[in-house]
Structure 1
Amino acid sequence: MNEGKAARFHRLRRRSRRLAFVARAGVLFAAVVWGYPADFVSAALSVAVLPDAVQVVLGAGLFAAALFLAGELLALPFVFHADFLLDRRFGLTRQSFGGWLLGQGQATVMRMAGWAAGAVAVYAAIGIWPDMWWRLAGAGCLAAGAAEASLASAMLARRTRPLERPALRARLEALTRRVGAPNIAIHEWRVGPTTDAANAAVVGIGPSRRILVSDTLLDDYSDEEIEVIIAHEIGHHVHWDMWQTIICAAAVGLAAFWTADMVLSAAPLAMLGVEGLWDVGSVPLLALVYGAVTIAAAPIVNLLSRWHERRADRYALRVTGNLEAFVSGLRRVSAQYLAEERPPRLVEWFFHSHPSLAARMAGARAAASKS
């Protein structure tokens, strides 16, 4: 693997993503300082014959959606560079510009709707339980995370189908029976039209749970390599990693809302023309505090994710006993994604949800030597 090429790719991508983050944060800061957008939303809603509480809740949703859209538009050049131009330049995608733009537009609309719905829910909680609203909001994070995970299989249904290779299917079904997970379905995931990179993932929770295997993985990898990769994904299922991730995200959300309540209740908001949390003008302030806590918690969230990945690696080696296939499959996947073999320690600690290639190789060899 060309480590210099990988390091350059990730350095350029991180720089563009930092600039996109600054653009989005800049929109929130501008809304706080300017104040006019919140006044405009409130004035527009006051025309409608609605109770004051409904006006605040709906106004928060509309204002949140407008802020999100403005941030995405300002960040678009940097997102385009990070997620399309660099991928094309380094050979990671075959997607056309039109296809990328359509996908980006669809994702933006969905996330904007999520921001609006989240703001409506949070401000409804503030109106219902002003002193402890953050508890309701934290519970909402847990419910939203579970709902999103439950719907993941359905959202990808058009791009998946049951695995059709009889010999490989029999091999993988034998693996699921051997490890005590016979009811988890394994489906082919069609990604080939846009990329050559292989992928596999566990999606869904409960009855909707699926293991997805990309068509690129099925086309280019040996059955032994595929079996080890699927064993890794089954490891996530067996250890309830999805639920742990959902609960961790909800805990971060709860901490963020509690911090927002503490900070904004004590802050002199009147200086900014905001009467308190129960005011449409507080939306960008709440978003800034929420974002700051989320960023501060990122190393902890990524630490949990890396632990999940190391544990799933050990599980895959234990149930297959195939170190050679594990190492060859991991090297090939890492090369396709231009993964850095030894990224800077601080970068891995803060940004990476997976251990470095070097760390995973060393861990695999250590686990194999003990078995």
Structure 2
Amino acid sequence: MSSQVFSVLFVVAVLLTLLVKLALMRRQIRHVRARRDAVPAPFAEAIGLESHRRAADYTAARMRLAIVEVVVNAGFVLVLTLGGGLQRIYGLAGTWFDAGGIAHGVALLATVAVLGWVVDLPLSLARTFGIEKRFGFNRMTPQLFVADLVREGLLAAVIGLPVLAAVLWLMGAMGDRWWLWVWLFWIGFNLLALFAWPAFIAPMFNKFTPLADEALKARVEGLLDRCGFRSRGLFVMDGSRRSAHGNAYFTGFGAAKRIVFFDTLLEKLLPEEVEAVLAHELGHFHHRHIWKRFSVIAAASLGLLWLLGWLMERPWFFTGLGMDGATGGTAVALALFALALPAFTFPFGPLMSHWSRKHEFEADAYAARHAHPGDLASALVKLYRDNASTLTPDPMYSRVFDSHPPALVRVSRLRPDFREPSPT
């Protein structure tokens, strides 16, 4: 393949991905706003018209910002590749470190990451202090926002830079099968992160306290006994420091498993509804959804690393993405691959979304067996209402992007009476 042909394929992939995303986001806005003034009949008793309108406006606002985000990201990728941005960063990093060395490669990749962070920062500010604040969800102060940025930057430096150095060393030292060694290292790192996150990293950002409500604790422990689930404890996270959104999850693996409730969730739901939500999360554990997803990601990453190894031997891969013929190396290949990959893998996104929605149905069914399905249904309705989640997503947008089923479909499976009336 010539570099010119690959350049054309890359531009076509970027533009097609951008156009499809824009078209679907515009469909979502039109679809939701067209149904803004009528609550779907099954939800009419639980969700008022003003709440429904608020959810529609919130969804439209988020979609408008997402449109800006995808345009900016596409432009960023094109500037760094065909615009020669990565070539300039390579030359700049070469003035600091010996060209082609590990330090030079880490500097190159870190610079690209920092530039991406700088480009995303205005969007993050608009999301947090614009949209989230306007709709009453943001509780983040500017001081906390800055503190989070500092902590994230320190973590990226302390953990990310050594990881990048290790990957680049393996790519250069392990011969033709370097991709297998990098994959093994990456899998080991992710398993270690699963263990370390709940115990060491998450507490850097949030406070976790043992669940103090004895009645709720007894109800939850009874559910855990019925489900055969063992954990290191039940914790409440101060999610209200940053947002009014509520959630619950379990994290870690093996002896490090722990169950976490957002304090905002406990404020909104009745004890039996909290139990049903937790039963749903335990359904993910019972069906091994996390490990199934991890296995798919692991297999895909192995294939992608092999592909990167193959592409590194093709000069057109470098020149077709904006590098001159004399520039190559492991760090450049890794950066180009990371920049170009999303445009070519976008068509697989709907498959992953479909798989995720299937998992949600399985977890709901498990919850319905171990808690009252009506309690889960009522909890979901409250969460849709309080989180301003739209009840009327565009079906095509939802099939491509949504990891969770539409509200009406999901709740009606738990409550068969909860359906739209048939047209007469």
Does TM-score exceed 0.5, indicating one fold? yes
> 1: CA distance between counterparts of 2:375 and 2:224?
18
> 2: CA distance between counterparts of 1:156 and 1:355?
28
Question: What secondary structure, in the 3-state scheme, does the structure 1 residue paired with 2:239 have?
Answer: coil
Which stretch shifts more, 75-84 or 158-167? 75-84
Task: List per-residue Cα deviations over 1:76-116 (Å, max 9, x = no partner).
Answer: 21222234311111111121233223323433453466654
Alignment match, 1:284: 335
Q: Kindly provide the amino acid, as one letter, of the partner of residue 265 in structure 2.
A: L
Structure 2 vs 1, CA of residues 231 and 61 (structure 1 numbering), >3 Å: closer, same or farther?
Answer: same
> Given the alignment of the two structures, is residue 8 of structure 1 paired with residue 60 of structure 2, yes or no?
yes
8 Å CA contact retained: 2:80, 2:86: no
Task: List per-residue Cα deviations over 1:155-198 (Å, max 9, x = no partner).
Answer: 22351111111111011101100111144522111112332222
> 1: CA distance between counterparts of 2:138 and 2:197?
23
Question: What secondary structure, in the 3-state scheme, does the structure 2 residue paired with 1:354 have?
Answer: coil
8 Å CA contact retained: 2:171, 2:330: no
Question: What secondary structure, in the 3-state scheme, does the structure 1 residue paired with 2:209 have?
Answer: strand
8 Å CA contact retained: 2:69, 2:123: yes
Tell me by how many angstroms 1:361 deviates.
Answer: 1.2
8 Å CA contact retained: 1:93, 1:195: yes
Q: Kindly provide the amino acid, as one letter, of the partner of residue 134 in structure 2.
A: R
> 2: CA distance between counterparts of 1:147 and 1:184?
18
2:258 is aligned, of 195, 210, 215, to 210
8 Å CA contact retained: 1:235, 1:312: yes
Task: List per-residue Cα deviations over 1:219-273 (Å, max 9, x = no partner).
Answer: 2211111110111111122222222222222233223323333334224257433
8 Å CA contact retained: 1:314, 1:367: no
Alignment match, 1:57: 102
Alignment match, 1:49: none
Question: What secondary structure, in the 3-state scheme, does the structure 1 residue paired with 2:195 have?
Answer: helix
Q: Kindly provide the amino acid, as one letter, of the partner of residue 340 in structure 1.
A: T
> 2: CA distance between counterparts of 1:261 and 1:278?
11
Which stretch shifts more, 221-230 or 323-332? 323-332
Structure 2 vs 1, CA of residues 95 and 304 (structure 1 numbering), >3 Å: closer, same or farther?
Answer: same
Q: Kindly provide the amino acid, as one letter, of the partner of residue 348 in structure 1.
A: S
Which stretch shifts more, 138-147 or 270-279? 270-279
Alignment match, 2:304: 256
> Given the alignment of the two structures, is residue 25 of structure 1 paired with residue 77 of structure 2, yes or no?
yes
Long gaps (5+) in structure 2: 1-50, 419-424
Higher-RCO chain (CA-CA 8 Å, sequence separation at least 6): 2
Structure 2 vs 1, CA of residues 184 and 346 (structure 1 numbering), >3 Å: closer, same or farther?
Answer: farther
Which stretch shifts more, 100-109 or 352-361? 100-109
Structure 2 vs 1, CA of residues 340 and 168 (structure 1 numbering), >3 Å: closer, same or farther?
Answer: same
Question: What secondary structure, in the 3-state scheme, does the structure 2 residue paired with 1:156 have?
Answer: helix
For normalisation by structure 1, the TM-score amounts to: 0.86
Alignment match, 1:131: 176
8 Å CA contact retained: 2:318, 2:333: no
Question: What secondary structure, in the 3-state scheme, does the structure 1 residue paired with 2:260 have?
Answer: strand
Q: Kindly provide the amino acid, as one letter, of the partner of residue 310 in structure 2.
A: M
Alignment match, 1:336: 386
Question: What secondary structure, in the 3-state scheme, does the structure 1 residue paired with 2:250 have?
Answer: strand
Tell me by how many angstroms 1:280 deviates.
Answer: 4.2
Structure 2 vs 1, CA of residues 26 and 110 (structure 1 numbering), >3 Å: closer, same or farther?
Answer: farther
8 Å CA contact retained: 1:126, 1:278: no
Alignment match, 1:179: 227
For normalisation by structure 2, the TM-score amounts to: 0.76
Q: Kindly provide the amino acid, as one letter, of the partner of residue 345 in structure 1.
A: P
Count of residue correspondences: 360
Structure 2 vs 1, CA of residues 145 and 188 (structure 1 numbering), >3 Å: closer, same or farther?
Answer: same
1:361 is aligned, of 399, 406, 411, to 411
8 Å CA contact retained: 1:63, 1:280: yes
Task: List per-residue Cα deviations over 1:12-70 (Å, max 9, x = no partner).
Answer: 24224324523542453267456232123234223xxxxx8xx6222211211111101
Structure 2 vs 1, CA of residues 27 and 78 (structure 1 numbering), >3 Å: closer, same or farther?
Answer: farther
> 2: CA distance between counterparts of 1:333 and 1:96?
24
> 1: CA distance between counterparts of 2:309 and 2:348?
18
Alignment match, 2:267: 219
Q: Kindly provide the amino acid, as one letter, of the partner of residue 224 in structure 1.
A: E
> Once the two structures are aligned, what percentage of the paired residues are identical?
21
1:156 is aligned, of 199, 202, 212, to 202
> 1: CA distance between counterparts of 2:131 and 2:227?
40
Alignment match, 2:117: 72
